[in-house]
Amino acid sequence: MSDMNRRSAFLDEIGLGPVWVRREGVIEFSDEAPEAIETVPQPVGGVALEVEAALQADVMRVVAESPIENELADGPSAWPDDGVLTTVPAPHVAVPTMASPQAMDWLQLQQAVAGCTACGLCHGRKNTVFGVGDNKAKWLFIGEGPGRNEDIQGEPFVGPAGKLLDNILLAMGLKRGENAYIANIVKCRPTDGTGRDRPPSPEEVAACLPYLQRQIELIQPTVLVALGKTAALSLLGLDAATPVSKLRGSVHRYADRPLIVTYHPAYLLRQLGDKGKVWADLSLAMSTYAQAGD
């Protein structure tokens, strides 16, 4: 398929074809491409402003429909995608040696995560958050860690950011649970001394990453999408000062699979000016998937 046809097909899928009607509400992304990205299709004349307005309206609707007592009311974002990533040192907790996940099957891995005490996060959790979706999916979306709503429900991305992610999936022709799996870098909610969400510490990431690595081995996805700074830096082993903007527009590799980096939905809810860049990231991800032949 040519770049023009691929772009047209994508615009049709998100409801911006000749007749702008959709049976399901999805998020419409700006057609503005980021700077210095050669692999992303360029804007179609007359579409960018229409998409821009549609995405802003959808984001505001997601926020308006959410109860006040959600993660947006918890203060500053735990996902500073283009700032310096700061972490709260994890308290020292003596923990037992855990069995390696590398030989576990899916059920064993779920049970191991549910009973995990490999770091101090186990002491404050209500639930572990293993992940959700099709465990043979071709798409794997990886976030940072559970927030308050996720800790309560035991499922990733269930608050306003989750609604936004679901709309992103719909725009890509995917649905939660259908050819898509959603996981996090850590399986328990990290909080600071005031009970607010925070990024996981390096020690917490190191304790939990083997579970995610085993999930990747069992799922065998075609494309990985890192949602936000913590996910991207944890997978790529980069310095905490590296912003997401420096990682976008390239196809990285993790576990011998292509990895695309984009902004975390929670960050996007607060930084509407970056919403157009997500369209470019998804275009790159879908192009990479198409080239893989799955």
Mean pLDDT of 63-81: 45
Mean pLDDT of 42-70: 46
Single-letter amino acid, residue 100: S
Decide: 24 and 163 in contact? Cβ < 8 Å. Answer: no
pLDDT given for residue 12 in this prediction:
54
Q: Indicate if the pLDDT at residue 35 is higher than 50.
A: no
Mean pLDDT of 86-106: 65
pLDDT given for residue 293 in this prediction:
77
Global pTM exceeds 0.85:
no
Radius of gyration of the chain (CA): 19
Tracing tokens 């990895």 back to the chain, one arrives at: 259
Task: Give the tens place of pLDDT for each residue, 227-258.
Answer: 999 999 999 999 999 999 999 999 999 999 99
Q: Answer yes or no: CATH 3.40.470.10 is held by domain 3-292.
A: yes
pLDDT given for residue 98 in this prediction:
62
Q: Indicate if the pLDDT at residue 41 is higher than 80.
A: no
Query: What rounded mean pLDDT belongs to the chain?
Result: 79
Q: For the chain, what are the domain ranges? A: 3-292
Give which of 274, 217, 285 is closest to 251, Cα–Cα. Answer: 285
Task: Give the tens place of pLDDT for each residue, 108-123.
Answer: 999 999 999 999 999 9
Residue 100 banded pLDDT, cuts 50, 70, 90: confident
Q: Tell me phi and psi for residue 252, to 5 degrees.
A: -90, 175
* Distance separating alpha carbons of residues 181 and 53, to the nearest angstrom: 29
Q: Indicate if the pLDDT at residue 167 is higher than 70.
A: yes
Decide: 163 and 120 in contact? Cβ < 8 Å. Answer: no
Helix-helix angle 160-171:48-65, to 10 degrees: 140
